[in-house]
Amino acid sequence: MTQKREVPGIRPYNSPAGGWGALKATAKAVRDQMDVTEAPGLLLRTNKPTGFDCPGCAWPDKEHTSTFQFCENGAKAVTWEATNKRVTPEFFAEHTVSELLTWSDYELENAGRLTHPMVYDHASDTYRPIAWEGAFARIGDVMRSQPDPDMVEFYTSGRASNEAAFLFQIFAREYGTNNFPDCSNMCHEATSVGLPQSIGIGKGTVSLDDFDECDLIISMGHNPGTNHPRMMGTLHECSRRGVPIIVFNPLKERALERFADPQDPIEMGTFSSTRIASSYYQVKIGGDAAALKGIMKAVLALAETSPDVLDHAFIAEHTTGFDALVADINRTEWADIERVSGLARADLERVAEIYAKSKATIVAYGMGITQHAKGTANVQQIANLLLLRGNFGRPGAGICPLRGHSNVQGNRTVGITEKPTPALIEGIERAFGFTAPAHHGHDAVAAMQAMAEGRSKVLICLGGNFSIALPDPELCAQAMRKLDLAVHMNTKLNRSNLLIGKESFLFPVLGRTEQDVQATGAQSVTIEDSMSMVHASRGRLKPASDQLRSEPAIVAGIAQATLPNSKVAWMELITDYDLIRDKIEVVYPDFADYNERIRVPGGFRLPIGPTERVWKTPSGKAEFKLFDGLNEDISLSDGTILKLATIRSHDQYNTTIYGLDDRYRGVFGRRDILFMNDKDLKAKGLEHGDLVEIETALPSGAKRLLKLTAISYDISEGSVAAYYPEANCLIPIDYQDKESGTPSYKSVPVRVSKAA
Ligand SMILES: Nc1nc2c(c(=O)[nH]1)N[C@H]1C(S)=C(S)[C@@H](COP(=O)(O)OP(=O)(O)OC[C@H]3O[C@@H](n4cnc5c(=O)[nH]c(N)nc54)[C@H](O)[C@@H]3O)O[C@H]1N2
Ligand SMILES: Nc1nc2c(c(=O)[nH]1)N[C@H]1C(S)=C(S)[C@@H](COP(=O)(O)OP(=O)(O)OC[C@H]3O[C@@H](n4cnc5c(=O)[nH]c(N)nc54)[C@H](O)[C@@H]3O)O[C@H]1N2
Ligand SMILES: [Mo]
């Protein structure tokens, strides 16, 4: 990287990730949002058996009995929710919705916690307070007047508890639809669709203990220093144990290079750090399947002279499709693998050698794998690599998708899906005595398309910022404005709340950190982490206002008002969440003794078939799945086209912008940046710091442009990166993985030129 010219806000960051910088940033997060005397007590209750589950990420804690695990971005998530700032009826009276639309995403959420149920008033262009019961009654009227239940969309963002998500899906299904757009559709849907075909379950198979026993970790397309910070403790330990950690990522991410653990007194005292990646391969954006096929090709070549390199017994007993995989790999030429992955054959052969020696391998992956036009097939290539050496159902081995929102996996487990299985429909019949609809509903993209085309008229959001998280903000804004009714349940104000159609309600909800008191007393909710551990979470803080209601209570209120002849005892269920969990147990037998088992510290683990070598696929075996060719759109590589990935900064949580720095990448006080390789800058006649115009280079569709400042960065050639959600305007809504519906947020073909 040659950063000769001074560019405002751009300075190389030379320290390790973590360390004193992380402590300083935590102190700042506390200072900016909270009463400094309250914060330590609150942060110390994070992830304790009697405390609340950190809303920051879905990484588990050891049995949930560990001492507090220091984590900068967890502290940001917690203090952002527990802030002293408030968005009151007076605030809304002072600011019209048109004015608020001119605020940045950062300014909107930083205004503070919502305090009252509000309804939009067209005459004054403001949100005005409304009583809960009046709001529910009006929503019920509009819902009942819809000609077809499939004209209503039920959106979930993965922060909702199991109890809230379960009630939400029961409500939607009794109302008569399977329209469940969900943040997971933008996130790990490729995992939810790809892995069941490969190994019979759409979840990770490893537990934290497996990290103690593995002897190789391959990390692909995730940035744990920012997005799964508690994973850094695990990687740090593994590295110190001498476990090779092989990273595939187009960007050099500091936390994957070296990390100083703020809980390690020696590293902190001596300003030293631990290296994380033993080798770091800067794959081209969208080149992972090629890299994986290259590694498999080299493994198969090794197996010709040392047959033990493959687990033949496992392959014979537990898999199908091996011969087809070998034929496909044989057809794939090294020259193509090198060109598409951007990696040298010798490097991939080296990875294969290490893999062939490892007795227990874990592959961890994130959005760099799933958010591609071939996301599902990408995930399946990871499963293939692991299957070749029987890396399932053995200590220290398995697949580790890094989930996003802290309970996104749980939401799926308790029924948020647009494609209900017969077992789910039977379970609902058993528990509630009504027949849920079987026809498939809308996922996130399909829901927004239906809204844009006027086929759906109502949107009910259990959290999140739906229209900003999706691609194509212009289309999403138009779609929102065509609605008859939008209902938002949020902790904080965001842009989706301000895109108003006929009627809009904005409901303030209790967050994870707050006490949830119902008729029978204080309640706990339950959460499922990335490793299928289900445990209780209980907030202790006084709620942000006495008007707040819990998500289960709001869902029950709307359901009761919408369905006068409901088979569900909505008001009774929310008096005591044990009653909701009893119903979950009736629908899902895997939750047997739910209420007893979550009272044990650490909770319980849901069954994961592959850990017992049980494969719930059509063939009853694990299946090798083929990746057709190497890359989705080689036809688009005309030499001038670059691939754009949209990524998260260190100071953001999805569409929530905590601040304007991205410390580990050396960006301060701004987000209008395009990360570019030096060679690409030169080839386009650009210099570090030039203002550039980025144009989407898809064959058809509207012209999509964005201006950013290009900076020289250590990123693979042919690849560029910019921040989400600012760059979402470059992505058409239907540019997606057709198998899973996931938008291809990480591989947008673009042209970059100097701005006029
Ligand atoms: N603090 C914080 N924590 C979070 C979140 C947050 O926004 N902030 N979001 C939560 C959610 S919902 C999610 S889904 C997760 C997201 O966590 P991650 O999966 O880590 O998310 P991203 O930042 O989108 O990008 C991941 C990485 O993919 C790399 N990448 C991009 N394209 C490619 C590619 O083609 N191949 C490979 N191998 N790598 C590529 C990028 O360089 C980046 O390092 O984090 C969760 N936790
Ligand atoms: N370009 C691009 N776009 C992407 C991605 C990308 O990598 N690139 N990533 C995608 C991914 S992985 C995801 S998961 C989606 C995220 O999509 P969403 O989950 O819809 O978005 P968030 O930004 O997490 O939602 C933020 C809002 O959640 C509300 N909130 C916070 N806590 C709570 C709570 O406890 N309860 C309730 N009811 N509300 C709460 C706050 O009001 C806040 O404004 O975005 C996707 N969009
Ligand atoms: Mo996500």
For 493-508, write each residue's pLDDT tens digit.
Answer: 999 999 999 999 999 9
CA 746 to ligand 1: nearest atom = 32
pLDDT tens column, 185-194: 999 999 999 9
CA 224 to ligand 1: nearest atom = 20
Distance of CA 455 to CAs 179, 458, 476, Å?
12, 10, 14
pLDDT tens column, 421-446: 999 999 999 999 999 999 999 999 99
Residue 524 Cβ < 6 Å to ligand 1: no
Whole-number mean pLDDT of the chain? 94
Residue ID of nearest Cα to ligand 1 atom 3? 227
Residue ID of nearest Cα to ligand 2 atom 4? 469
pLDDT at position 637: 62
**Given a cut of 60, is residue 632 above it in pLDDT?**
no
Residue 223 Cβ < 6 Å to ligand 1: yes
Q: At what angle do helices 19-33 and 72-81 cross, to 10 degrees?
A: 0
pLDDT tens column, 44-71: 777 776 677 887 778 887 654 444 456 8
CA 656 to ligand 2: nearest atom = 23
Looking at the DSSP bridge assignments, the partners of residue 259 are 17, 274
- Beta strand spans in 102-141 (E): 113-114, 118-121, 126-129
pLDDT tens column, 577-610: 999 999 999 999 999 999 999 998 889 999 999 9
Inter-residue contact 497 to 119 (CB < 8 Å): no
Residue 221 Cβ < 6 Å to ligand 1: yes
Pocket around ligand 2 at a 6 A CB cut-off: 109, 157, 159, 183, 186-187, 367, 371, 404-405, 462-466, 469, 489-492, 494, 509, 511-512, 551, 646, 654-656, 724-725, 728, 745
Query: Does residue 149 have a cis peptide bond before it, meaning omega lies within 30 degrees of 0?
Result: no
CA 164 to ligand 2: nearest atom = 38
CA 544–ligand 3 middle distance (angstroms): 26
For residues 672 and 27, which has the higher predicted lDDT (pLDDT)?
672
pLDDT at position 67: 45
Residue 367 Cβ < 6 Å to ligand 1: yes
**Given a cut of 80, is residue 230 above it in pLDDT?**
yes
Burial of 263-293, coded b for 16+ CB within 10 Å and e otherwise, reads ebeebbeeeebbebbeebbbbbbbbbbbbbb
The preferred substitution site among 246, 367, 745 for testing ligand 1, maximizing ligand atoms within 8 Å of CB, is 367
Residue ID of nearest Cα to ligand 1 atom 44? 223
Q: How confident is the model at residue 635 (pLDDT cuts 50, 70, 90)?
A: low
pLDDT tens column, 355-372: 999 999 999 999 999 999
Looking at the DSSP bridge assignments, the partners of residue 126 are 121
pLDDT tens column, 101-160: 999 999 999 999 999 999 999 999 999 999 999 999 999 999 999 999 999 999 999 999
Tokens of 756: 């006029």
Ligand with minimal distance to 228 CA: 1
Identify the weakest region by mean pLDDT among 243-247, 378-382, 429-433, 511-515. 511-515
Backbone φ and ψ for 172, nearest 5 degrees, come out as -60, -40
CA 408–ligand 2 middle distance (angstroms): 11
**Given a cut of 80, is residue 15 above it in pLDDT?**
yes
pLDDT at position 70: 60
pLDDT at position 66: 45
Which candidate, 709, 704, 636, places its Cα nearest to that of 676? 709
Q: How confident is the model at residue 21 (pLDDT cuts 50, 70, 90)?
A: confident
Task: Look up tokens 């994973």; give the residue.
Answer: 231
Residue ID of nearest Cα to ligand 2 atom 35? 511
Q: How confident is the model at residue 269 (pLDDT cuts 50, 70, 90)?
A: confident
Residue 407 Cβ < 6 Å to ligand 1: no
What DSSP character marks residue 1? -
Rounded to a whole number, what is the distance in angstroms from the first to the last CA of the chain? 25
Ligand with minimal distance to 56 CA: 1
